[in-house]
Amino acid sequence: MPFVNTPYHIKEPILAFLWLMRERGCTQAQAQKILDKHRLMQNNRPISKAEKICGDVELSEFVPSSIPHLLHIEPLFYNDDFCLYDKPHNLLTHPKGRFYHYSLNDILKSRFGTHANALHRLDKQTSGLVLCSINPKSKKILESLMQNRAISKGYCAIVEGRVNREILIDKPTMTQKQKGDLSIKSIISQKGKESYTLIRPLAYYKDSTLIYALALTGRTHQIRLHCAYIGHRILGDPLYGVSEEKSRFYLETPHLSQSQHQALFGAPFLCLNAYTLRFSFQGSDYHFKSNTPFGFMPHFQGFFQSHTFL
C-alpha cells in the first residue's frame, strides 16, 4: 500500500484529532499516531496534537493498490492439515491496523480457504518459513505444539563484525509503552521479560558474519535487538544499531529502493531469515529449510549450498 497525500478542505475550526476521528473514521489512538508521525500537514507544516484546523490540509494516508505478482507465491509444502510458505522480505504476515495492507494472509486464504491461518508471525522485513494451518482441527493441534515450544524455529542472519564463538544473550526485553515515532522498537530493560537468544557463527567474510540464531524465547524483535546489543547489528536493519535519524527516515519513507536501503543500512533488505522449522505431527517428523536467502552475497549463498550444518 503506498502513502498518498490527499487534500481536504475543512469549513469550520475543529481540533485535529477530532476531525481525524469524525471525518476519517480513526480511533483516538490512530488519530494520535497520525499526528505523532506528522502525517497531517497545513501549509507544509505538521499539525500539532492540540491544534485546531480550518481550511486546506493534506493527509498522508494509505490507498489500496493491486500487487498482482504476489498472488503467484506458492507454498513450499502442503498437505490436508497444514502448509508452509517461504515468505519474502517486505511482506506482512497479517494485515495491520484499520487500513488494508496486502499480506501473506491474503495469499494463504485465497489458496486454501477462510479456515486457513498463519500460526505465527514474522516481521514485515524478515523473510523465511511461516507455518499455517488449513483446517480448524489441525490449527488446534499445531497451536498447542507452538505454545509448548515443540516446534523448533531457527534463523540465519548476516551481522556486522566478526563473531568468533557461540554466544548466549540473556538480556530481558520489552516493548515500549510510551507513544512516539520510535515506540515500535523493543528495548533492553530489567523490567522486561526474560529473553534468551543463542547465536552461532557459520562463516565470515569482509567484516560480516553469517550466524545461526535460536530464539529460546519468543519476544518481539528479540534477535534483532539482542544482536545490536552485543555490537553485531544485523545488516539491513533499519531500527536496531543505527541512529534514530536513520530509523525515522525509514519509517517516514516507506518505499525506499534497495539501493537506498543498502546505502543507509548496509544491505538492500534486513538480512534475517527464518531458515529452519522442525516438528513432529501425527506420527511423522518434519524438517523444512528456507530457500537460500542472501543471494546478493554469493559467498554466503555458497555456504548454504555446500554445507549441511543443521
Which sequence positions are flagged as catalytic?
123
- For residues 238 and 264, what is the distance between their CA atoms, to the nearest angstrom? 8
On the CB side of 273, CA atoms within 13 Å amount to 23
Question: Please, what is the end-to-end C-alpha distance for the chain in angstroms?
Answer: 37
- For residues 83 and 39, what is the distance between their CA atoms, to the nearest angstrom? 39
User: Is-contact 266 238, C-beta < 8 A?
Assistant: no
For residues 142, 304, 72 and 77, what is the CA-based torsion angle, rounded to 10 degrees?
Answer: -30
User: Is-contact 57 8, C-beta < 8 A?
Assistant: yes
Nearest to residue 200, comparing CAs of 192, 210, 191, 190? 210
Q: What is the DSSP letter of 193?
A: B
Furthest-apart CA pair in the chain: how many Å? 68
In one-letter notation, the amino acid at residue 157 is A
Give the position of cell 490507498.
63
In one-letter notation, the amino acid at residue 132 is C
C-alpha cell belonging to residue 11: 469549513
- For residues 267 and 259, what is the distance between their CA atoms, to the nearest angstrom? 8
C-alpha cell belonging to residue 123: 516481521
Listing DSSP states for 103-138 in one string gives BHHHHHHHHH-TT-EESS---TT-EEEEEEESSHHH
